[in-house]
Structure 1
Amino acid sequence: MQVTSRTSSDSVVLGFHALSDSLRVNVIELLRDRELCVCELCDVLGVTQSKLSFHLKTLKEAGLVRSRQEGRWIYYSLNLPQFVILEQYLAEFRRFSAIMPSRSCQE
C-alpha cells in the first residue's frame, strides 16, 4: 500500500501519534478482547475520567477506537480497519528490507 493521498498520510500520522503514549497503548490492550465503558477503563487504569477522556479523544481522532452511547455510559471498542491501514503501511517497509543495502556509519 502506497500512501499517496493527504488523507491516507494524515491517517497514518494520527495513528502512530495516538500509539506513542503508554496510557493510550494500555487502553488499546484493554480493548483488544471486548468493549469497555469509560468507568471500567478508569478503574483498571487507575486514572481520572478527565485524564482518560483526553486520551480517548486522541484515539478516536486517529480512528483507532469507536464509541457508542448506551444510556449515560459510553462504551469503547477497537476500530480494526484502522489498524489494518497502519499494518499495511509498515508492511511496505518490510517488503523492501531484503533488497536494501545495510548501512554503515563512516566518519
Structure 2
Amino acid sequence: MIKKAVRMKVYSDKHEEYKRRHDELWPEMEQMLKAHGAISYSIFLDVETSVLFGYLEIEDEERWALTAQTEINKRWWDYMEDIMETNPDHSPIAVDLCPVFEL
C-alpha cells in the first residue's frame, strides 16, 4: 500500500457545494477510482483557508496515474472547475505533500 497526500483549494464561497458534490459522488467515478487501485480516499477542508487536504491509500503509482486519462475523470474535472482552483485542462491544482511523521 502506498500513502499519498495532496493539497488543493476550493473557492471560499463554495465549501458547501464542494461537499455536496462529493456526497453525491457519481457511482462510475467511485468505480473508476477503485479499479485504478484506490484503497481509501479522504478529503478534509480547512474552513479558514479553504485549503483541501486529500489523503489516499493506493496499490500502485503507475496504475493510479492512469486515472487522469479516463473519460469519467475528465468529466469530473470539468464538473468541479467552477468551484476550485484548476489548471487549464480543468484538473485541480494539486501539490503533493511529503511525509514527515507516522505513528
1 or 2, which has the higher helix percentage? 1
Q: Which has the higher contact order (CA 8 A, sep 6+)?
A: 2
Q: What is the TM-score normalised by the length of structure 1?
A: 0.31
1 or 2, which has the higher strand percentage? 2
